[in-house]
Structure 1
Amino acid sequence: MSMNYFSKEHEMFRESLRDFLNKEVKGNIDKWESDHKIPRDIWKKMGDQGFLGLTYPEKYGGFDLDFFFEVILFEEMSKMNSGGFVITQQVVQCMSSPYILKYGSEELKEKYLPGIISGDLIGCIGITEPDAGSDVKSIKTKAEDKGDHYLLNGSKTFITNGVYGDFVVTVAKTDSNAGAKGISLIVVDLNSKGINRTKIDKLGWHASDTAEISFDNVKVPKENLIGEEGKGFYYLMNGLQLERLIFVPSCVGAMEFAISESIKYMKQRKSFGQTIDKFQALRHKIASLSSEIESAKVFGYYCCELYNKNIYDVKLCSMAKLLVTELHEKVSTECLQFFGGNGFSEEYPLARMYRDCRVGTIGAGTSEIMREIIAKAVIDDAEFKEVKS
């Protein structure tokens, strides 16, 4: 479907990106999945080709492009059929570094953003803890003010890029008695003394690394505070909209890949003397799934356009995240079924997607949380306003 969100320049970028991914990534994905690790040089190559830092300012090495270039980036990356490959840069570009860009000091921006854009630095976001997930206010990690530095103690879990990353934007309490107003964001270099990182084995996203990170009296310079003390919770609530919205392109790209691979398989698989793409039941299932994907894409792109225009809409971002992640699960399940017993084999693409898609309804706010946010807006007339720094 052609949409006016994409210009000629957008499509030229898409073609260039596809060529790069087919040449540098496609043939390596299986090895990265089995190794449970992505070589860092691929990020450097992407940086060198101008595929990172698309929406970041030119003064830090970025390109000052609109959000739909990033939409294209993650759609096309998702068609490589490795959720771990996609999430690694989503975390860097959309979930951790934006806090530095939007709220950080000039010193922090100059220290981290050029490396993020060049592909030399890998960042992560440290929110979730062993006893605190959706309830961010209940975090226990503390950053004690020691004059010229903070002393950080606590632990984080399910941290994507936490094993091989260079820094973590850490959510910590700088005032344990102030509730949400006592939460701050602090950049912590992951090679600091007192940090221990333990790799977590996962159901999916095998190519990416996920860690539990513990902080034991870690000294962090006061200059690494992002924005103001006590504003971290509100920064997070603002930033989570991008974190949720970025599921739109990654799910759309993955679902389109699933349909394409299913049709390809159906056209060569024979049963009862004919290829199975001739069976009405399967044809109609493809038709229904394709219709749902296109509908989700139209709504998702609309939400992306609002974000592109700096329109803050928590309800619609939550709807988009809920819609595409749950549809991704449905599409993965139905497309795996087209492959019959082969769908259960790791030799075919849907097995991996089936594993990878499951985290979509959990990360960045569970489907249950999304429904409650939507219910508050629709039933209780709740208003969600962006907190200005």
Structure 2
Amino acid sequence: MTMLSLLALVILVATLTTIFYMQLSLTVGSVTFAVVWLLCGLLASWLYNPILLILLAGALVVLNHPGLRRKLISKPVYQTLGKMMPPIGDTEREAIEAGATWFEAELFSGKPDWDDFSKVNFTQLTEDEQSFLDNEVQELCEMLDEWKIYHEHKDLPEEVWEYLKTKGFFSLIIPKEYGGRDFSPYAQSRTMSKIATRSLTTAVTAMVPNSLGPGELLAKYGTEEQKQRWLPGLSSGEEIPCFGLTGPEAGSDAGAIPDKGVICKQTVDGEEVLGMRLNFAKRWITLAPIATVVGLAFKLYDPEHLLGDQDELGITCALLPADTDGVEIGRRHNPGGSPFMNGPINGKDVFVPLDAIIGGPEMAGKGWRMLIECLGAGRGVSLPALATASGEMGYRMTGAFSRIRRQFGTAVGHFEGVQEASAEVAGLAYTLEAYRHLVTRGLEEGTISVVTAMAKYHSTEMMRVLINNGMDIASGRAVQMGPRNFMALAYQSIPVAITVEGANILTRSLMIFGQGAMRCHPYLYDELQAIQDEDQERGLDTFEGLFFKHAGHTLGNMSRGLVHGLSGAALAEIPANADSFSAPWYRLITRYSAVLASFSDVAFALLGGDLKRREMVSARLGDVHSQLLIACAVLKFHATLPRDEANDAHARYALQHAFSQIHDAVEDFARNFGYMGVARILKGVFFPFGRPAGAQKPSDELIRTLGEQIMNPSSVRDALAANAYISVDPKDSIGRVEVTYNKLLEVERDYEAFLKADGKGKLEGETIQAKLEDAAAKGIIPNDQVQAILDYDEMRYDCLLTDAFDKELKEVDMNTQRPT
């Protein structure tokens, strides 16, 4: 092929790419391509070949003639997809349609609207919310001793229960007109995370009434009579709620609950009442052992057609007093991680009137949608709040302890092996706080079910990694149980957060992309609806318009992916207010957004309904989508903190951590997708020069930087501590490390000089005090530092001790005498 012919081909490809990139209309794009083809014929005469011209003209005519386009393209595709795609069930449809989308839909589009994102500002606490955190929450934290709760009481002390009830901790989501506090999602998150930095048991106890449960369901769907009956009692703590959803055979697959309600009539107090006879067996229900009111999800049937013509009405939610005849309640499970109240609920032939249905009889069968829309509080607020609390305390304790603990003559935090783990603690703690801000802000826009599923999975997984790293660094100090241990109880609580509100494995492999694709894709769900339309002509009319828009969308994203790959995303759109730090990262988000959209469309086209069964493929695409949102959160959070070295380093680590996972998911997708390597080819088109620099894993230099910063005071350390309860009691597990660290900061320079001199044999004396006095006499340390260093060394030794018990492991032996 001559150089002129090659040039002509390059021009034609560039023209097509530009047409798709700019999303020109079909007519304008067709005319433009035809004109360029004819002009390129001046360079390569073979483009004027009659057969090629006839094929070109035929293709353009078919595309632009409605009748031909419908007959030759739209209808065959419509019929083929109709045979390939499985029907969408009612339960799946309700899950897809529940709630709304937010900025996650923009990330799925391939071309995020950064103007909209620029308008997103993190929520600020109101005066009432800040006052509650500074006073009631602070006072509650001062009342708590997690070791005693866990190992001695196996429950919260009575005074704590009373404080939670009377101070409104169970009413954060209830409207003020019913006695509630009506806090924002951000305020709820801050409340729960601050409690969790002190006591996970108390945090779980407080979060359940403010998550999925009767309070939220009543506030959103209840009749006015139901609200007046229950909400004031729930607000005051006179009523303790629980919600029965999970059962022995239905966990993440809540739609498969076997619990049954049958509409029937029964004589009550001499009168015939229309109601429901319920039979159910629920497990793992938090607050069940002490609940006074039980929310219940079950499948409702109407075999006698007392309400209508349907035999099966579907999942329904009802509310009934815990002392209703036939309800068995009060036993406890042992969650393991913390002794919060949790137990089974059983019911046999329990009769309740129809007005027990939340929202009244007209809401019969609509419970699944209600539940999906109300899962946001648990998935988007409460569980991420526990994870964020672990990040706040993990950062502070890991940094402090790694500076206090010495091995081989130096603080363990200076070893690069330790820094690899401590840097990840620092980066994940920063990410969790950023993610909390963005997700709770999104929840103010409504029910964002895809975002909250992302938040639940990724926050709790980050918590798992962060705490495991902290345990490794603290080593034996964190293994030996006792009231001194500042890590073990958080470590034991990890499985609770991982498992509840949808097990993490299924959340990642089924929910995030499965639901996200349907909710976020601009055309896919509507196309599937059109394909399944019983009126095929109407369905074809709808499908045709959507299909060609979808095709343009796909080709546009592939063109953007190609252009971004060749240009290093230099042309990628970014927010107008992006600064020098954030601009390259926003370009990278835009680039990977086009990649995500393109790979997703390829998966839809080639896998069809089989995509549901290719869970690892779905999970990888979900990881890309999720990590893009996490990157957005990090950038937004970075802009709210002082622009200094610590903030930049933490943000850079968090972003590289996110993008390295994004690119890993892209590579795994391409390698395993199949279909003659089509995904591998696309990856080569999108990344012609390999993995972008921003998607490389954090460098050793950056790891060393964060490994040092986590041990030092900084703007980031202060920002994370501002949301936590930090004890300064030297007898407290957290306080002991905190006060020792602060003392070290006062004396460290002179302490290091003393240790250096002692290590070289320059000091005389049999005791530390004698050596310190000799160091002062020789001018190695100031005279006024002798007692301060001696005090610190005693604190340091005490800080490193693990608890010892009697032989029965009942009583702690408080003997901490140090050998001379």
CA RMSD between the two structures:
2.5
| Cα distance in 2 for residues equivalent to 1:229 and 1:7 | 38
Aligned to 2:625: none
CA distance 1:49–1:200, shift in 2 (3 Å): closer
Aligned to 1:150: 276
Alignment partner of 2:290 out of 146, 159, 164: 164
Alignment partner of 1:336 out of 445, 459, 471: 471
| Cα distance in 1 for residues equivalent to 2:233 and 2:221 | 18
| Cα distance in 2 for residues equivalent to 1:42 and 1:383 | 49
Counterpart secondary structure, 2:211: helix
Aligned to 1:64: 182
| Cα distance in 2 for residues equivalent to 1:229 and 1:138 | 17
**How big is the shift at 1:286?**
2.0
**How big is the shift at 1:39?**
3.8
- Where in structure 2 are the equivalents of 1:39-54 lying within 5 Å? 39=157, 41-54=159-172
| Cα distance in 2 for residues equivalent to 1:30 and 1:117 | 29
Kindly indicate whether the alpha-carbon contact (under 8 Å) linking 1:139 and 1:173 is maintained by their aligned counterparts in 2: yes
Structure (1 or 2) with the greater strand fraction = 1
CA distance 1:383–1:302, shift in 2 (3 Å): farther
Alignment partner of 2:328 out of 172, 175, 196: 196
CA distance 1:221–1:31, shift in 2 (3 Å): farther
Kindly indicate whether the alpha-carbon contact (under 8 Å) linking 2:283 and 2:345 is maintained by their aligned counterparts in 1: yes
Aligned to 2:605: none
Aligned to 1:375: 513
- Structure 2 length normalisation: TM-score? 0.44
Counterpart secondary structure, 2:182: coil
- Where in structure 2 are the equivalents of 1:357-368 lying within 5 Å? 357-368=494-505
Aligned to 1:287: 423
Alignment partner of 2:488 out of 340, 345, 351: 351
Mark the runs of 5 or more structure 1 residues left unpaired by the alignment: 385-389
| Cα distance in 2 for residues equivalent to 1:121 and 1:244 | 24
Alignment partner of 2:413 out of 277, 280, 284: 277
| Cα distance in 1 for residues equivalent to 2:247 and 2:337 | 20
**How big is the shift at 1:185?**
0.5
Amino acid at match of 1:241: G
| Cα distance in 1 for residues equivalent to 2:236 and 2:511 | 36
CA distance 1:81–1:278, shift in 2 (3 Å): farther
Kindly indicate whether the alpha-carbon contact (under 8 Å) linking 1:180 and 1:233 is maintained by their aligned counterparts in 2: no
Counterpart secondary structure, 2:155: coil
Q: Deviations over 1:131-167 (max 9, x none)?
A: 1112222212122223323222120011111111112
Kindly indicate whether the alpha-carbon contact (under 8 Å) linking 1:81 and 1:254 is maintained by their aligned counterparts in 2: no
| Cα distance in 2 for residues equivalent to 1:304 and 1:36 | 32
1:23 aligned onto 2:160: no
Kindly indicate whether the alpha-carbon contact (under 8 Å) linking 2:174 and 2:182 is maintained by their aligned counterparts in 1: yes
Kindly indicate whether the alpha-carbon contact (under 8 Å) linking 1:175 and 1:182 is maintained by their aligned counterparts in 2: yes
Q: Deviations over 1:47-101 (max 9, x none)?
A: 433444233212111133322211111110110142x321222111111020111
**How big is the shift at 1:179?**
9.8
1:55 aligned onto 2:173: yes
CA distance 1:116–1:267, shift in 2 (3 Å): farther
**How big is the shift at 1:302?**
1.1
> What is the number of residues matched between the two proteins?
377
Aligned to 1:76: 194
Aligned to 2:691: none
**How big is the shift at 1:169?**
0.7
| Cα distance in 1 for residues equivalent to 2:191 and 2:456 | 18
| Cα distance in 2 for residues equivalent to 1:366 and 1:181 | 27
Aligned to 2:655: none
Q: Deviations over 1:29-51 (max 9, x none)?
A: 22221232224542432343344
Counterpart secondary structure, 1:130: coil
| Cα distance in 2 for residues equivalent to 1:383 and 1:80 | 45
CA distance 1:23–1:253, shift in 2 (3 Å): same
Mark the runs of 5 or more structure 2 residues left unpaired by the alignment: 1-120, 266-272, 304-309, 527-820
Kindly indicate whether the alpha-carbon contact (under 8 Å) linking 1:128 and 1:159 is maintained by their aligned counterparts in 2: yes
**How big is the shift at 1:356?**
0.5
| Cα distance in 2 for residues equivalent to 1:57 and 1:17 | 19
Amino acid at match of 1:201: N
Counterpart secondary structure, 2:336: coil
| Cα distance in 2 for residues equivalent to 1:39 and 1:383 | 51
Amino acid at match of 2:212: M
Aligned to 2:202: 85
Kindly indicate whether the alpha-carbon contact (under 8 Å) linking 2:457 and 2:504 is maintained by their aligned counterparts in 1: yes
| Cα distance in 1 for residues equivalent to 2:242 and 2:311 | 24
Regions of 4+ moved over 4 Å: 176-181, 377-380
| Cα distance in 2 for residues equivalent to 1:199 and 1:184 | 26
| Cα distance in 1 for residues equivalent to 2:525 and 2:142 | 47
Alignment partner of 1:14 out of 97, 113, 133: 133
Greater CA drift, 15-24 or 123-132: 15-24
Counterpart secondary structure, 2:177: helix
CA distance 1:378–1:186, shift in 2 (3 Å): closer
CA distance 1:89–1:180, shift in 2 (3 Å): farther
1:316 aligned onto 2:451: yes
Counterpart secondary structure, 1:290: helix
Alignment partner of 2:301 out of 167, 175, 182: 175
Kindly indicate whether the alpha-carbon contact (under 8 Å) linking 2:140 and 2:160 is maintained by their aligned counterparts in 1: no
1:235 aligned onto 2:370: yes
CA distance 1:123–1:55, shift in 2 (3 Å): closer
Amino acid at match of 1:144: V
Greater CA drift, 364-373 or 39-48: 39-48
CA distance 1:43–1:68, shift in 2 (3 Å): farther
| Cα distance in 2 for residues equivalent to 1:196 and 1:4 | 45
Counterpart secondary structure, 1:121: coil
Amino acid at match of 1:368: I
Alignment partner of 1:123 out of 227, 241, 248: 241
| Cα distance in 1 for residues equivalent to 2:157 and 2:219 | 26
Kindly indicate whether the alpha-carbon contact (under 8 Å) linking 2:173 and 2:210 is maintained by their aligned counterparts in 1: no
| Cα distance in 2 for residues equivalent to 1:255 and 1:60 | 35
Q: Deviations over 1:339-371 (max 9, x none)?
A: 212221222132111110112222111222322
Amino acid at match of 1:275: A
CA distance 1:157–1:46, shift in 2 (3 Å): closer
Q: Deviations over 1:284-313 (max 9, x none)?
A: 432232112212332332121111122x32
CA distance 1:315–1:8, shift in 2 (3 Å): closer
Aligned to 1:387: none
| Cα distance in 2 for residues equivalent to 1:263 and 1:296 | 17
| Cα distance in 2 for residues equivalent to 1:88 and 1:202 | 13
| Cα distance in 2 for residues equivalent to 1:21 and 1:279 | 39
**How big is the shift at 1:19?**
2.4
| Cα distance in 1 for residues equivalent to 2:336 and 2:212 | 22
CA distance 1:7–1:57, shift in 2 (3 Å): closer
Kindly indicate whether the alpha-carbon contact (under 8 Å) linking 2:278 and 2:348 is maintained by their aligned counterparts in 1: yes
Kindly indicate whether the alpha-carbon contact (under 8 Å) linking 1:166 and 1:191 is maintained by their aligned counterparts in 2: yes
| Cα distance in 1 for residues equivalent to 2:171 and 2:374 | 17
Amino acid at match of 1:20: E
- Structure 1 length normalisation: TM-score? 0.88
| Cα distance in 2 for residues equivalent to 1:234 and 1:179 | 19
1:136 aligned onto 2:254: yes
Greater CA drift, 72-81 or 111-120: 111-120
1:267 aligned onto 2:403: yes
| Cα distance in 1 for residues equivalent to 2:412 and 2:295 | 50
| Cα distance in 2 for residues equivalent to 1:180 and 1:325 | 37
Structure (1 or 2) with the greater helix fraction = 2
1:98 aligned onto 2:216: yes
